[in-house]
Amino acid sequence: MPTLDIDWSALNALRGAELKRATFKAIQQAAFCIQSTDIDDPSVLEAVPRLSELVSLHQHELGAYKQLVSSLARSTGLWNYIDIESADASDAFVAEAATAHELGDVTFHREQINALDALLAGRNLVLSAPTSFGKSLLVDALLATDKYNRIAVVLPTIALLDEFRRRFRDRFADKFNVVMHQSETSTDGPTIFLGTQERLIYREDFGQLDLTVVDEFYKLDPARRDDRSVTLNAAVYRLLKRSKQFFFLGPNIDKVSVAPDARWNFEFLRTRFSTVAVDTLDLQKVKNKRERLIEEIGEDRNWPALVFISSPGKANKLAIELSEQMAVSEFSSEFSKWLKENIGPKNFLSEAVDYGFGVHHGRIPRAIAAHMVRLFNQRKLPVLLCTSTLIEGVNTAAKTVMIFDKTINRDSYDFFTFSNIRGRAGRLGEHHVGQVMVFNDVPEQTELEVSPTMFADDDDLPDEYIIHIDKPDRSSRSDDRFRHYRDRLELDGDDLKLASSIGLETAIQIKEAVHRSLSQEDLLIWSNWPRWPEIHEVCEVFCEPQKVGSFGAFNTRQLATLINKLRHATSLKRFLLDQDASYPGRPEEQDNIFKFLRACEYGLPQNFALVELFVRQIEPSADYSLFLGSVASWFRPEILKELDEEGVPIQISERFNVEGFSKSELRARLWSECNSP
């Protein structure tokens, strides 16, 4: 079988007649390979984006070759690379036929059309494709038809929710009601329900769904070591029971494991079809890797560059080091000034951004992280230091990906994760040829088989998942396990599901800790607003079987103090500035305060609610509802928190909010302020 043997680097270095001759030979060789190899062989497919970029960079010498490159694009199925203006009639016709004018003149490639054909025929589809495939565009294509009326879309992160929300409202505002927040209710009309699994699992207003979409579906497999896997499986189980069709999307998956008696049938489409090419620079043998990394970061030929670091602390430390050595942007000072005024002048983020370095990981506030990505895509922040959180679907326009570490926190990542990180290099329409710099050993290539809990044998189902299964779907053995925890915890229905979200064995330990506390004092018995000692006692109880560090504090006293200070702060801005002024620790750990704020959104409310359930079993007068209704929104009006998730930091919206404002009224006022002279 022929292989494509072209030195693209050498070809790019040529000029004049020599460049024309070498390019023509490359086109001939690519055409021969296309006729002789597998239809989706990545080594052959990459010839199209490489030649397309080469021709666009050397229009004067190579402009006459546009038609030939378009013919290659048609033959490979990369129809989005056909230049309609220069292509011959037959090639232009193919491109036009695959173009969706209602989606902004987007042209689909062959494998996207194959997936759409399966979906529009009503079949359930599980799609595995490379990062650059354009999977999310398929969802938009489905919505543009009149086939689907009510759709649920399950996404792994709030950042991705906001990205989808913006896109859906831009394209389908007149067609669908987009529901993302718990306070938003659906109507009987066309509706898109957007949410993470934690949000969608408790909604009751879906009605009959026409389609359920699950992005990054590999997270259904507990072997991926995602502690949200059980909740994801339970949420998808609920949705699929009321949905006519489903569509799962994910990257680089080879097989999907299904039990023989699984109730859901689907078609599995696996493709290697990629729309960009990638060059790999092997830097494993470099002696001083950190010095070389800093050197490559400073080279503008590599920008915009994503730098993968294993943990938030290491990313923060590198950001501090880089900002002490160089500046890579003159266009980020305004954002830096805002950060100094709103989160604190001592915070390392303010300084890093001032010198052109963005930071993106799970601790960074969402609105700030989202703005980092926007500035990165606009090339105002040329370098973005990130952890694995950025590989979960958020679109970036990276030319280069520098994979500096080979672990996620302390665990070595596998080839699947490596491939997903590498897949961030290049972007259709901007960087047809991406670049990856590898500083450590590449994990051994292995097949990835995804085994979703919801498709597994009954004996393999975890206890936390069984709690969410309807009784008719439970086997006798599963029903025994269900009754064991129901009786042990003395909880049922949604209360038992709440316990499962924390962990059933952990919930048992919390219940025992509640009983011990109540046998000694009554600090757990309160209503309305708690005092500091009462907050502290609740924290002591639920942190007994859990690490307090997961809530962004060093001990329970600090956790209780942070909660109390947040509640009494006149504004979120004031709270953060006070924390910045009094912070005594290492600069790279200063963002722990953001970890605490994340825990207020999810983690702390669930634990406080569970403690309340166990207290009320003994003393029904206890009532934490007022506190629980406020902690998740940082003790601010709920509309401010919702706007924060939509990219408007609370520090901005709280300046213009008036008591009694609806979200639409506040949004209108913000829009007016932004556009006033």
Residue 410 binned pLDDT confidence (cut-offs 50, 70, 90): confident
pLDDT, tens only, 615-627: 999 999 999 999 9
Residue 279 CB neighbours (<10 A): 16
Give the pLDDT mean for 589-603: 95
Pairing of strands 267-270, 357-360: unpaired
- The Cα-based distances of 56 to 25, 239, 435, 493 in angstroms read 18, 46, 18, 61
- Give the pLDDT score at 356: 97
Give the pLDDT mean for 342-361: 96
Query: Does 407 have pLDDT greater than 90?
Result: no
Percent of the residues in the chain that have a pLDDT greater than 70, as a whole number: 99
Residue 161 CB neighbours (<10 A): 22
pLDDT, tens only, 178-194: 999 988 988 889 999 99
d(Cα 430, Cα 432) in Å, to the nearest integer? 6
The tokens for 651 are: 């520090």
- 123-138 burial, b for 16+ CB within 10 Å, e for fewer? ebbbbbbbbbbbbbbb
Residue 36 binned pLDDT confidence (cut-offs 50, 70, 90): confident
Give the pLDDT mean for 137-145: 96
- CATH code at 278-438: 3.40.50.300
d(Cα 21, Cα 599) in Å, to the nearest integer? 61
Per the listing, tokens 């506030």 go with 365
Query: Does 409 have pLDDT greater than 90?
Result: no
Cβ(82)–Cβ(67) under 8 Å? no
- Give the pLDDT score at 126: 97
- Give the pLDDT score at 169: 93
pLDDT, tens only, 56-113: 999 999 999 999 999 999 999 999 999 999 999 999 999 999 999 999 999 999 999 9
d(Cα 173, Cα 458) in Å, to the nearest integer? 42
Residue 611 binned pLDDT confidence (cut-offs 50, 70, 90): very high
Query: Does 633 have pLDDT greater than 70?
Result: yes
d(Cα 484, Cα 127) in Å, to the nearest integer? 38
Give the pLDDT mean for 476-489: 96
End-to-end CA distance of the chain: 66
Give the pLDDT mean for 296-322: 96
3-state secondary structure of 427: strand
Query: Does 393 have pLDDT greater than 70?
Result: no
Give the pLDDT mean for 325-347: 96
Domain 110-270 in this protein, CATH class? alpha beta
The tokens for 586 are: 């290492």
d(Cα 247, Cα 96) in Å, to the nearest integer? 26
Average pLDDT, the chain: 94
Domain ranges of the chain: 8-97, 110-270, 278-438, 461-675
- Give the pLDDT score at 259: 86
Residue 677 binned pLDDT confidence (cut-offs 50, 70, 90): low
- Give the pLDDT score at 262: 79
Query: Does 343 have pLDDT greater than 90?
Result: yes
Spacing of C-alpha 186 from chain mean position: 25
Spacing of C-alpha 196 from chain mean position: 10
278-438 matches 110-270 in CATH topology: yes
Query: Does 501 have pLDDT greater than 80?
Result: yes
Query: Does 1 have pLDDT greater than 60?
Result: no
Residue 383 CB neighbours (<10 A): 26
DSSP per-residue codes, 221-280: SGGG--TTHHHHHHHHHHHHHTBS-EEEEESS--EE---TT-S---EEEE----SSEEEE
pLDDT, tens only, 426-466: 988 888 999 999 999 999 988 999 999 999 988 789 999 99
Percent of the residues in the chain that have a pLDDT greater than 90, as a whole number: 85
* One-letter amino acid for residue 68 of the chain: L
Stated pTM of the model: 0.95
In degrees and rounded to multiples of 5, residue 438 shows phi and psi of -110, 120
- Give the pLDDT score at 44: 87
Query: Does 505 have pLDDT greater than 60?
Result: yes
- Give the pLDDT score at 443: 93
Pairing of strands 125-128, 106-107: unpaired
* One-letter amino acid for residue 194 of the chain: L
pLDDT, tens only, 516-543: 999 999 999 999 999 999 999 999 999 9
